[in-house]
Structure 1
Amino acid sequence: MELFLDVLSESFVDTVKMLPFLFLAYLFIEYVEHRHGERIEAVLESSGRWGAIPAALLGCVPQCGFSAIASNFYASRVISLGTLIAVFLATSDEAVPLLVSMPAYWDKLVLLMVIKVLYAIAVGLVLDFVLRGVLPRSLRGGYTGNADEIDCHETHDDEEGHQRPIWQAALRHTLEIFAFIFLFSVLFGLIVEGVGEDVFADFLGQMGFFQPVFSALVGLIPNCAASVLLTQLYVEGALRFSSLVAGLCTGAGVGLAVLWRANPSWKQNLFITGLTWAAGAAVGVGIQLVVALVG
């Protein structure tokens, strides 16, 4: 009981310290979504075969459901496959506000976002230009749909139809992620204290070359808990930076879940899911190899 109370107390104090940063981050995200959401969709719709560039830049902004918007657009043939994958790879779900809440990791956050955006652009352009002739026509996506026909916006209205202030939505997100982080911190602390920090670190360390591959699989889980888990494991020292990048490249939030619901072809959905995983694992392994060579 004493061990549990110690872990509970330490986890609560560490998590409470993040609250101001988390709230400010979500306040900014909500502002962008409310004021510029339709403009962002218009940019994505009109970008054509070069859509991977704005998709990667916009996808790195962790606004609510952006990957879901891209999935709906792809299912309705408003955007191409390369644009969709660029959004998925650039999206980091809850990892950005979580790392923003930790000033000691701001340099890693900048490096993470630069890598993800450049990699997302590269993969998207390769799919839409280099491999376009190889891919089946039905898989390439297209520009025959119309964004006006798709309702992608998350409702922020109350029961009477009045729009809630953005601070309320930001506060709700902050408290939800606070609960995720606190529960994970307690669970992680109990595991580490129970089995020993060295044993737990050795388990993940023994994955070696396969750690980014494992992280990329975790990232595919269509829930914000996946990105919280990966980020917390990295902060605790259990995951390498290369594995964090791999997991967050595949961590497209609810994007894949929406794709499976909105796109009627299960074969296309399976291919896109596998492609997202492969792309995430590849960049993680690549970073790992570069670090090994340089070191």
Structure 2
Amino acid sequence: MLHLLAHVVPEAFFDVVKTVPLLLLVYALLYYIENRLTNTPALLSRAAQFGPVVGALAGTIPQCGFSAAAAALFSAGYLAPATLVAVFLATSDEAVPVMLAGGASVPQVVLLLAVKFGIAVIGGYILRFTVFRSHRAESGEALEIEMTACDCSAGSPIWSVVWHTLKTAFFLFAVLLALNLVVHGIGEERVAALMLSDSIFQPLLCALLGLVPSCAMSVLLSELFVSGTISFGALIAGLSTGAGFGYIVLFEEKEGRRRALPVIAATLAVAVIGGTLVQFFYG
């Protein structure tokens, strides 16, 4: 047990440390928006039509913290649900470096990012005009925003931003530590055995696995693909739901928790459909 803790504690710690600079920037931005920009609702309304594209572009950047940043903005009311789903769908976390290190070709990685970007944009716009069509951030109506993710209006602005960043980082560390203990306890071999090779249900299984809020899932899925255990379509599905820290941040705040389930359900549905179609046509 001590040996396991010696392995997973530093892993969880350094995963969280990598996200701290980005979280600081996000909460500083939220403070600035809350206290300096009085025309934010109008700006968001005019830019709403580009939401899924911008979200997909941000998510495509291979960095584990963007999903957490997007979730924080969503919880604060500054990001529409379809845009957040686009960020989640495009996010790949650690998949790119792991695939390249494992022997995947550059064209395979480029294809992965391109397909995920396409699914994120198409899925985001479909959701925007269907499931989330009544959402005020998407409809172009003025927003009355309550700052719930970053209570930066009171006290020193620097302390408020730093305090919320530290609180979120601690929450992330606690959850990641528990998840890593479970994953390492079960073993990657057993996880691979459950992937149902050559099955049409493999994208669904990988998408469900991707919902586990840990960057370790993107590493595991990438290794399973490089080893030939899962198909390219299953990899797409798993990485499309693999929003890492984003899910944790959604459930951290009460306001985000209230709207988290529709976003997660939409992400899962689009990921499974997209991954299944890719597996059917590509493999």
TM-score class, shorter = 0.5 to 0.7
**For 1:111 and 1:143, how far apart are their aligned partners in 2?**
38
Return the match for 1:258 from 249, 258, 266: 249
Normalised to the residue count of structure 2, the TM-score between the two structures is 0.65
Q: Percent identity?
A: 33
Normalised to the residue count of structure 1, the TM-score between the two structures is 0.62
CA contact 2:22–2:69 (8 Å) conserved in 1 = no
Residues matched between the structures, number: 224
1:70 corresponds to which letter in structure 2?
A: A
Runs of 4 or more above 4 Å deviation: 36-42, 135-144, 146-155
Look up the match of 1:91.
91
Unaligned runs of 5+ in 1: 1-25, 156-179
**For 1:55 and 1:124, how far apart are their aligned partners in 2?**
9
| Matched residue SS, 2:124 | helix
Return the match for 2:197 from 186, 205, 209: 205
Q: Residues 54-93 of structure 1 correspond to what in structure 2 (within 5 A)?
A: 54-93=54-93
Look up the match of 2:215.
224
| Matched residue SS, 1:273 | helix
Relative distance call for 1:130 and 1:92 in structure 2 (3 A) is: same
Look up the match of 2:231.
240
Look up the match of 1:129.
129
Relative distance call for 1:107 and 1:209 in structure 2 (3 A) is: same
Unaligned runs of 5+ in 2: 1-14, 34-42, 153-160, 167-179
Q: Residues 60-209 of structure 1 correspond to what in structure 2 (within 5 A)?
A: 60-102=60-102, 104-133=104-133, 135=134, 143-145=143-145, 151=161, 204-205=196-197, 208-209=199-200
Once the two structures are TM-superposed, the CA of residue 278 in structure 1 deviates from its matched residue by 1.2
Mapped pair 1:283 → 2:270? no
Larger Rg: 1
Deviations 1:55-103 (A, max 9, x none): 1111111224211111111111101111100000011111122123345
Look up the match of 1:164.
none
1:219 corresponds to which letter in structure 2?
A: G
Cα RMSD between the aligned structures?
A: 3.9
1:119 corresponds to which letter in structure 2?
A: I
Once the two structures are TM-superposed, the CA of residue 284 in structure 1 deviates from its matched residue by 0.9
Relative distance call for 1:237 and 1:217 in structure 2 (3 A) is: same
